[in-house]
């Protein structure tokens, strides 16, 4: 079962969840928005993104993994193209957007990105999060797909040295998906992506869900 695969390996690839026609409103909405070289941060404020984040096909995956009610709180559009082609080194997604800064054990360092406060979170908080990556284009081996080190989501928050050691010991898996497919992944799963080797675009809408906006006692996620 796919839920067992996520628990064991930290990720799962769902093929063909959305048709090209269903993705068109997203692509139309993105067309008129200024973006950075990498894409669009804080995309949940875009109505087309907020709408698809609430789609039952995504909601049910998040609910099954996280249990009970879930809420989408953060979305980012990543785009690779001939004009925006970059390498992402092995890392974990440990920063969470928060309503306000509040000191707490294992929280930090802190930063502010486009007016939103972020803090690197402890493993206990990150265990309550699931990311769903909706592919707006075909993701192939040649155009810099997501690469993961299976099972590393269970190792807690890792140091740079530990990340490097794991990348030498564990064979990476390329998360290949056609347009409209979805990759589910835990934020502590060690992952990376290489530069694209061709001119084919690779757009991914990365949506994060949590079991509750109160991710830890006194710490509330911001909607971004």
Residue 197: its pLDDT value, please? 62
Residue 54's domain comprises: 2-220
Give the CATH number of the domain where residue 90 resides.
Answer: 2.60.120.620
Confidence at residue 221, expressed as pLDDT on a 0 to 100 scale: 98
Give the Cα separation of 222 and 74 in Å (integer): 8
pLDDT at 38 over 80: no
207 beta partners: 75, 132
8 A C-beta contact, residue 136 and residue 112: no
> pLDDT (tens digit, 9 = 90+) per residue, 118-137?
999 999 999 999 999 999 98
| Helix or strand run (H / E) with residue 209 | strand 202-210
What pLDDT sits at residue 85?
Answer: 52
The per-residue pLDDT for range 6-21, each reduced to its tens digit, is 999 999 999 889 999 9
| CA-based torsion, 4, 56, 79, 208: positive or negative | negative
How far is the C-alpha of 224 from the C-alpha of 217, rounded, in Å? 20
Residue from 21, 206, 224 nearest 114 by CA: 224
Number of domains in the chain: 1
Per-residue model confidence as pLDDT tens digits over 168-217: 999 999 999 999 999 999 999 999 987 666 666 778 999 999 999 999 99
**pTM as predicted:** 0.94
Pairing outcome for strands 191-193 and 88-91: antiparallel
């Amino acid at each position: 079962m796919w839920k067992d695969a996520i628990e064991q390996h930290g990720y799962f690839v769902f093929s063909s969840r959305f048709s090209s026609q269903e993705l068109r409103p997203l692509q139309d909405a993105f067309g008129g928005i200024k973006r950075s070289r990498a894409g669009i941060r804080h995309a949940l404020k875009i109505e087309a993104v907020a709408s698809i984040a609430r789609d039952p096909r995504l909601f049910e995956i998040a609910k099954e993994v996280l249990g009970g009610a879930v809420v989408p709180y953060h979305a980012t559009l990543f785009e690779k193209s001939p004009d925006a082609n970059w390498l992402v080194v092995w890392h974990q997604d440990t920063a969470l957007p928060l309503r306000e800064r509040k000191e707490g054990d294992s929280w930090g360092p802190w930063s502010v990105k486009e007016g939103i406060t972020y803090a690197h979170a402890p493993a206990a908080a990150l265990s309550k999060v699931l990311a769903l990556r909706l592919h707006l284009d075909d993701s192939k081996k040649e155009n810099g797909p997501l690469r993961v080190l299976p099972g590393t989501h269970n190792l807690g928050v890792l140091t740079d040295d530990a990340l490097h050691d794991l990348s030498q010991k564990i064979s990476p898996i390329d998360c290949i998906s056609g347009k409209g497919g979805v990759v589910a992944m835990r934020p502590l799963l060690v992952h990376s992506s290489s530069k694209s080797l061709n001119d084919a675009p690779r757009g991914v809408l990365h949506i994060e869900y949590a079991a509750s906006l109160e991710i830890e006692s006194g710490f509330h996620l911001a909607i971004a």
